[in-house]
Amino acid sequence: MGKALETFNLFPSLAEIKKPIKKHTIDTVELTDDPKAIELWDVCLQLIKDNIGDQMFKTWFAPTKALRWQEDVLVISVPSQFFCEWIEEHYFTLLRKVVSQVLGSKARLQYQVVVDKGKSSLEDRAITLPALRNPPAPTSGQAALPFINTPQAVQHYPTYLNPRYIFDNFIRGDSNQLAVSAALAVSDSPGKTKFNPLCIYGGTGLGKTHLIQAIGNHIVQNNRNLRVFYTNSERFTIEYVNAIQNNKVNEFTNFYRSIDVLIVDDIQFFSGKEKTQDNFFHTFNALYQSGKQIILSSDKPPKELRGVDERLLSRFQWGLTVDIQPPDYETRLAIIQRKSADEGFEVSAPVAEYLARNIGSSVRELEGALISVLAKVSLDNREMSLQLAQEVVKGYSQTIPQQSLTIDDIKKAVASYFKFTLEALEGKTRKHEIVLARQVAMYLTKQMTQLSLKSIGANFGGRDHTTVLHSCEMIENYLKTDKTVQTAIEHLSKRFGY
Ligand code: ADP
Ligand code: MG
């Protein structure tokens, strides 16, 4: 079975990224069955199956096939490049764990994109991508510290920027225009605009990470002498704790102070981590005073972040704080067209319009729905039809789009989860279980809607805003210790697509 093979490096230079994939050389190779590879991958698949839903497994993992097992590298085939990017983006942590458990800690996975001639009219091509790349972006307690044990680390360190996140493939619309303009200004003159720090906030899946990394990638490409570093508040915290444990706080501090452009994603997770905040405060000051650029992202406006020190919050607002809103219909349509074109597909107008009209809350979901459609067309030989789009959207519509989520939706869901009536939830009863359910409802309303504490109180039987604040704080405390509350919040958040 002859296949076309195209080698493609996931971390090429940024200039190379912009070249269309088709410019790479195409050779022909034989794909042979390797029983050992098949056996090992089967064990991995079992573990993966146990950890993700059936539907997800069927869509993303069932079509994979083990090709080779050689020198600690397991090569698996996937049906498209988008496919492996999706797998990497969504199942990176799980795959790392599974691969290291089944194949050993040194093992790596490599994807080979194999388009079967018999199944698709697409150009026949195969692309090898290094997966579970080394060093991985640390996500767990064993975070790799770029500044420890490597004397040359100051010169050679991973930026943790994903080269896929660039301005060129970030679709602009009214919902993100201001954020993009600010991001471009900062990219062109890091540290030299009024936008320092630049803080971009907005709901999940709206492109914050993409945009702040695009700034980093742009700067790396255009100012090779500037040291750019991307991290998130969780990783910063883990590294800091590790540094304390290993007596490396000085190295930690020196590393961060040597950065010219520091990008910190998801600063909301600094909440409640006082010591880390204190260290970040000093890092921030040192960088700011020497004219270095700081870029932050958050899921809400900094002034609304609870559990973060006032002096840090005020600094976050020194520069420019700008939001990204959910994309409007035209932008959603443009995103679908661009993403499918990048994948070498043409999505018919009715399908594109149907997806754009029905999936509105996040670009991530929109992308997910589009990929499901493309996967079904290329893997199951399905026709690109409105019916297919409807089927796919059905899987998404169990979640209520965040924009249209009302306090009544939340109250009803909480009442039904805890098996109380709405009246009980809104009423005066001080029974512990009902008080808890009421606090959960207030907390979720605060998290998921734009309502002020005052109006939430008013919607819960005319309670004072301090009662709402107290409820939110209580739930935040319970979330650290109480399994019942953790489960309830997790279940209800999922129900609302959070
Ligand atoms: P957030 O960090 O806000 O949760 P991400 O930046 O991770 O969101 O975006 C989720 C996905 O949607 C990513 O794959 C990203 O590339 C894509 N995306 C978001 N906004 C846009 C956009 N305006 N144009 C193109 N892709 C986008
Ligand atoms: Mg993000």
Region 270-291 average pLDDT: 95
Say if residue 175 is in the same domain as residue 316: yes
Say if residue 61 is in the same domain as residue 171: no
Region 46-59 average pLDDT: 81
Instruction: Identify the nearest ligand to the CA of 200 by its number.
Output: 1
Domain annotation covers residue 161 = no
For residues 324 and 301, give the distance between their C-alpha atoms in angstroms, rounded to a whole number.
11
Q: How far does residue 232's CA lie from ligand 2's centre (Å)?
A: 9
Q: Is the pLDDT of residue 214 over 70?
A: yes
Nearest CA to ligand 1 atom 9: 207
How large a percentage of the chain has pLDDT more than 70? 83
Domain annotation covers residue 130 = yes
**H-assigned helices in 21-140:** 35-51, 54-60, 81-103
**Across 79-165, where does the E strand assignment appear?**
108-113, 127-130
DSSP tag of 136: P
Q: How would you classify residue 149: left for phi > 0, otherwise alpha for psi between -120 and 50, otherwise beta?
A: left
Q: How far does residue 146's CA lie from ligand 1's centre (Å)?
A: 27
Nearest CA to ligand 1 atom 4: 205
24-33, 208-217, 349-358: the lowest-pLDDT one: 24-33
How do 2-7 and 127-130 pair as beta strands?
parallel
Say if residue 173 is in the same domain as residue 311: yes
Say if residue 289 is in the same domain as residue 220: yes
Distances (CA, A) of 219 to 87, 123, 132, 161, 210: 28, 35, 25, 11, 14
Domain annotation covers residue 143 = no
Say if residue 181 is in the same domain as residue 289: yes
Q: Is the pLDDT of residue 450 over 60?
A: yes
Question: Encoding tokens for residue 321?
Answer: 């704080």
Residue 10: which pLDDT band, with cuts at 50, 70 and 90?
very low
Q: How far does residue 323's CA lie from ligand 1's centre (Å)?
A: 14
Say if residue 125 is in the same domain as residue 36: yes
Q: Is the pLDDT of residue 8 over 60?
A: no
In our burial notation (b when 16+ CB lie closer than 10 A, e otherwise), range 254-268 reads: ebbeebbbbbbbbbb
Tell me the helix, strand and coil percentages in the chain, rounded to 5. 55, 10, 35
- Indicate which CATH number applies to the domain containing 183: 3.40.50.300
The residues near 223 (Cβ < 8 Å, ≥ 6 apart) are 190
Q: How far does residue 294's CA lie from ligand 2's centre (Å)?
A: 17
Domain annotation covers residue 355 = yes
Residue 403: which pLDDT band, with cuts at 50, 70 and 90?
low
Region 430-442 average pLDDT: 93
Q: Is the pLDDT of residue 17 over 50?
A: no
Say if residue 246 is in the same domain as residue 308: yes
Atom number of ligand 1 nearest to Cα 203 = 3
Q: How far does residue 209's CA lie from ligand 2's centre (Å)?
A: 4
Residue 363: which pLDDT band, with cuts at 50, 70 and 90?
very high
Nearest CA to ligand 1 atom 16: 210
pLDDT of residue 59: 80
pLDDT of residue 243: 93
**What is the pTM (predicted TM-score) of this model?**
0.58
Region 344-359 average pLDDT: 90
Contact 424, 434 (CB under 8 A): yes
Atom number of ligand 1 nearest to Cα 165 = 16
- Indicate which CATH number applies to the domain containing 356: 1.10.8.60
Say if residue 297 is in the same domain as residue 441: no
Domain annotation covers residue 279 = yes
Q: Which of 12, 22, 15, 2 is nearest to 343 (CA)?
A: 22
Q: Is the pLDDT of residue 1 over 60?
A: no
Q: Which domain holds residue 418?
A: 407-495
pLDDT of residue 46: 86
Domain annotation covers residue 154 = no
**H-assigned helices in 449-497:** 453-459, 465-481, 483-495
pLDDT of residue 2: 38
Q: Is the pLDDT of residue 426 over 60?
A: yes
Say if residue 380 is in the same domain as residue 415: no
Q: Is the pLDDT of residue 54 over 80?
A: no
Residues with C-beta less than 6 Å from any ligand 1 atom: 169-171, 176, 204-210, 335, 363-364, 367
How do 320-324 and 198-202 pair as beta strands?
parallel
Tell which of 306, 324, 342 closes a domain: 324
Distances (CA, A) of 263 to 191, 200, 236, 297: 12, 11, 11, 8
How large a percentage of the chain has pLDDT more than 90? 47
What total number of domains does the chain contain?
Answer: 4
pLDDT of residue 291: 95
β-strand partners of 75:
68, 110
Say if residue 175 is in the same domain as residue 245: yes
Q: Is the pLDDT of residue 125 over 80?
A: no
Domain annotation covers residue 186 = yes
pLDDT of residue 404: 60
Say if residue 85 is in the same domain as residue 186: no
Nearest CA to ligand 1 atom 20: 207
**Which helix (H) or strand (E) is 256 found in, with range?**
helix 249-257
Region 479-489 average pLDDT: 91
Question: Encoding tokens for residue 15?
Answer: 């200039």
- Indicate which CATH number applies to the domain containing 68: 3.30.300.180
Tell which of 394, 423, 441 closes a domain: 394
User: What's the full length of the chain, in residues?
Assistant: 498
Residue 471: which pLDDT band, with cuts at 50, 70 and 90?
very high
pLDDT of residue 31: 54
Say if residue 30 is in the same domain as residue 90: yes
Tell which of 305, 324, 343 closes a domain: 324
Region 89-116 average pLDDT: 81
DSSP tag of 416: H
Residue whose pair of structure tokens reads 């994939």 in the numeric block: 21
Residue 140 half-sphere exposure toward CB, CA atoms < 13 A: 7
Tell me the average pLDDT of the chain: 81
Region 350-357 average pLDDT: 92
Q: Is the pLDDT of residue 23 over 50?
A: no
Domain annotation covers residue 472 = yes
**Over the stretch 237-250, which tens digit does the pLDDT of each residue have?**
999 999 999 999 99
